[in-house]
Chains A and B, each alone.
Chain A
Amino acid sequence: MAEYLDALTYIVSSPTNLFFIVFSVIWGIAFGSVPGLTGIVGVALLIPFTYAFESEQSLLLLGGVYVGATFGGSISAILFNTPGSPEAACTALDGYPMAKRGEAGKALGIALASSAIGGIFGTAVLMLLAPPMAQLALEFGPPEYFALAVLGISAIASIGGGSVLKGLTAGLIGLGIATVGLDPITGMGRYTFGNNMLLTGISFVPVIIGTFAMAEVLTRVGEGNKSSTAITDVSTKLPSRKEMKDSSGTLARSSVIGAIIGALPGVGATTASFISYSEAVRWSRHPEKFGTGVAEGIAAPESANNSAVGGSMIPLLALGIPGSATTAVMLGGLTVHGIIPGPLLMEQNTRLVYSVFIAMMFANILMLAFGVRAARYFALILTVPYAYVGPAIIVMCMTGVYGLNGNMVDIGVMLAFGVVGVLLRVMKYPVASFIIGLVLGPIAEKSLRQGLIIADQNYLEFAARPITAALLLLSLASLLYGFYGQYKLARERRNATTVADTAD
């Protein structure tokens, strides 16, 4: 309790902190609402700016952006039929039909209320579970950390939505890039090609900004002028008490699903929202109405994806393992300040951790206040021509990366990874897998080798520890599930082709 009081005093005693929470929520909603920009880009772009602030303030900013962006995605999904972020893809299924019926304000209101409920639930779960989990993680040895890292990599490859092999390859590219620099055990240089600057490895932040923000702008510019119909004249109407009561089951179920799935390393809000949506359909008395603009079709994905935000912060703060692509990017932001997330962070930097808990709670409440009043203004962002937005983002990428160390090499790295990001997107290799691989690579390598040293290179002894074995089995199950999904998809496609051929 004393930790919460200390953190609360820290936040409210400084107007700057409060301003940062407000600003980050606005920034997050703005980035989340513009299709393609997403919360990851919003977080990545803010990282260099946080360099000028205290570490606590930086995490307040990044946490607030994550919260705001997850809701922001639903604005464009409802009004534009184009999800601002992947986790809002499900919201468009019922949000846009409802908006087209002339009930855009109601749809936004349901999304907003559900997001706030899910977000508050997820943050409460984070507050309750992160400290004991960190305590438990203190007992973890290198084998458990290795198994956690493997679970993260395998999960994102399996549930990425596309080809499992491509997901794995993207993750392995990230793991490979993470090997550049000094070996963490022997201290020998690897893949430096005689360049001393590469001895310290490839800087994480320029890679993130390049693969997400820069690549996004280049891809959008490549797509040219895409015209779509946006509904921008709206006034948000929060659902009535009766409507909330009707959706209470869906909200509760989806919030729980979101928090659990969000907490799994490597699986994020997108999976949470899709699973919650399908569960809402399964439990509904009128499943046939889903997709035509029903309230539960908006409430389920929105409460789940916002609950997953709090859930995905659990492994980041308690274990130092990112629970999603956004938290992987946040991890990069923390390293800028020399903070290593993990169980020791909870003990050594309690104010930072508890400030994040409180700030995320504030952010969810603020989101509700902003959303009601300002959804229509955020909707206007969608009408700003990309001729201003795109180039402005490139300038912010360049300036932000230069601001980190004041050198041009970082910008060169960012541009190179911008090209890598474009190639991965064009070739349909998931960028999120790449980033997770890049983040988890050093953790996996170091813990595997340390574990093998401790186990005297006895692989059986290494893998036979109960938690390690359970996590490795989960990873295997996750991979097999992914392969099975791909096999099923291929079989369906083959059947469809056969039917088409027969019809011809």
Chain B
Amino acid sequence: MSKNIIEFSFALGLFAVSVWFWLIADGFPVSPRYEGIDTDFWPKITFGLMALTSGLVALGSLRDMLAARRVPASTSVNPADWGTIGRMSAMGLLVLFYFIAFGKVGFVLSTIVFLWAASAMIPSGRFWVKVAFAPIFTALLTLLFAYGLSLPLPRGVGPFYELSLLLY
């Protein structure tokens, strides 16, 4: 897939979203008192301009895409790019699981497991340091937040809540 196609699709997506939001603004309730500067006034300016600029970006990408057809190899997404997307997606998924566990399991357990998994996913550092880093960092952060700054930390639900109560 060409990079230009991705750029074009993204700009086109932004164009579509801005048109959609402009149409939503068009349906906002109006009041005669504020005629001319009503609720829809600013959103219509913003999304109208956004449709214009993103449309121009899309046209520019389309022009580049057509021009690049002469040298397709230079603009195609190479295996390294797919690797980047894969690594980013994997970390994104892990963060999503962490987010779910953060509320359900509580701060301490979810964080330790997340740090182990995330550090294992990134290929640098020593194994034993990674193993030790997760609980030490979590303990320090718990101390800082719960005791030093008296800020809330999630405690989880059910048995995890009981466990968290013992810690902070």
Give the interface of A toward B (CB within 8 A).
48-49, 51-52, 163, 165-166, 168-169, 172-173, 175-176, 179, 183, 185-186, 188, 190-191, 214, 217-219, 221-225, 385-388, 390-392, 394-396, 398-399, 402-403, 406, 408, 411-412, 415, 418-419, 422-423, 427, 441, 445, 448-449, 452-453, 457
Q: State the majority secondary structure of interface residues on B.
A: helix
Which residues of A sit under 8 angstroms from B123, Cβ to Cβ? 224-225, 387
**Which of A386, A390, A395, A396 is packed against the most chain B CB atoms within 10 Å?**
A395
Minimum CB–CB distance from A148 to chain B (whole Å) comes to 17
Residue B115 lies at the interface, judged by CB distance under 8 Å to chain A? yes
20 new A-B pairs (CB below 8 Å) besides A223-B84, A392-B115, A399-B111? A52-B149, A163-B60, A169-B11, A169-B54, A173-B50, A175-B50, A176-B47, A218-B92, A385-B124, A387-B122, A388-B129, A391-B115, A394-B95, A402-B153, A402-B154, A403-B149, A403-B151, A408-B103, A411-B99, A449-B37
Which residues of B sit under 8 angstroms from A390, Cβ to Cβ? 118, 122
A183–B103 CA distance with the chains assembled, in angstroms: 32
A388–B42 CA distance with the chains assembled, in angstroms: 44
| A–B complex contacts, Cβ < 8 Å, 19 sampled | A166-B57, A169-B50, A172-B50, A175-B50, A176-B46, A179-B42, A190-B39, A190-B43, A224-B87, A385-B122, A387-B120, A387-B125, A388-B133, A390-B122, A391-B118, A399-B145, A402-B153, A411-B99, A448-B42
Which residues of A sit under 8 angstroms from B119, Cβ to Cβ? 387-388, 391
Residue B79 lies at the interface, judged by CB distance under 8 Å to chain A? no
A445 touches B24 (CB 8 A): no
Beta-carbon contacts under 8 Å, B79-103 to A: 83-85, 87-88, 91-92, 95-96, 98-99, 102-103
From A223, A396, A398, give the contact of B99 (CB < 8 A).
A398
C-beta contact mask, B25-56 vs A, less than 8 Å → 1, else 0?
10011010010111101110011011001101
From A169, A175, A214, give the contact of B14 (CB < 8 A).
A169
From B31, B85, B129, give the contact of A222 (CB < 8 A).
B85
Which residues of B sit under 8 angstroms from A223, Cβ to Cβ? 84
A166–B137 CA distance with the chains assembled, in angstroms: 39
A395 touches B53 (CB 8 A): no
- B100 and chain A: residue at smallest CB distance: A408
Residue B10 lies at the interface, judged by CB distance under 8 Å to chain A? yes
A173–B36 CA distance with the chains assembled, in angstroms: 23
Minimum CB–CB distance from B140 to chain A (whole Å) comes to 10
A51–B148 CA distance with the chains assembled, in angstroms: 12
A179 touches B121 (CB 8 A): no
A412 touches B38 (CB 8 A): no
Contacts A48-B151, A179-B43, A388-B130 hold; do A398 and B98 have CB atoms under 8 A apart?
yes
- A220 and chain B: residue at smallest CB distance: B122
Which residues of B sit under 8 angstroms from A449, Cβ to Cβ? 37, 41-42
A32–B130 CA distance with the chains assembled, in angstroms: 24
B37 touches A427 (CB 8 A): no
Which residues of B sit under 8 angstroms from A408, Cβ to Cβ? 99, 102-103, 154
Which residues of B sit under 8 angstroms from A163, Cβ to Cβ? 57, 60
A188–B34 CA distance with the chains assembled, in angstroms: 12
A172 touches B53 (CB 8 A): yes
A441–B46 CA distance with the chains assembled, in angstroms: 9
C-beta contact mask, B145-168 vs A, less than 8 Å → 1, else 0?
100011111100000000000000
Which residues of B sit under 8 angstroms from A176, Cβ to Cβ? 18, 21, 43, 46-47, 50
A163–B11 CA distance with the chains assembled, in angstroms: 13
Which residues of A sit under 8 angstroms from B92, Cβ to Cβ? 218, 419
- B133 and chain A: residue at smallest CB distance: A388
Residue B141 lies at the interface, judged by CB distance under 8 Å to chain A? yes
- B31 and chain A: residue at smallest CB distance: A186
Which residues of B sit under 8 angstroms from A218, Cβ to Cβ? 88, 91-92, 95
A415 touches B39 (CB 8 A): no
- B49 and chain A: residue at smallest CB distance: A172
A457 touches B154 (CB 8 A): no
Which residues of A sit under 8 angstroms from B129, Cβ to Cβ? 388
Minimum CB–CB distance from B78 to chain A (whole Å) comes to 14
Which residues of A sit under 8 angstroms from B10, Cβ to Cβ? 423, 427
Which residues of A sit under 8 angstroms from B150, Cβ to Cβ? 52
A332–B37 CA distance with the chains assembled, in angstroms: 27
Contacts A222-B85, A449-B37 hold; do A165 and B57 have CB atoms under 8 A apart?
yes
Contacts A221-B87, A222-B87, A385-B124 hold; do A168 and B53 have CB atoms under 8 A apart?
yes
Which residues of A sit under 8 angstroms from B145, Cβ to Cβ? 399, 403
B24 touches A453 (CB 8 A): no
From B46, B57, B151, give the contact of A51 (CB < 8 A).
B151
Which residues of A sit under 8 angstroms from B43, Cβ to Cβ? 176, 179, 190-191
From A169, A388, A402, A415, give the contact of B95 (CB < 8 A).
A415
A49 touches B46 (CB 8 A): no
A188–B47 CA distance with the chains assembled, in angstroms: 18
Minimum CB–CB distance from B46 to chain A (whole Å) comes to 5
A51–B144 CA distance with the chains assembled, in angstroms: 13
**Which of B95, B96, B145 is packed against the most chain A CB atoms within 10 Å?**
B95
A453 touches B57 (CB 8 A): no
Minimum CB–CB distance from A166 to chain B (whole Å) comes to 6
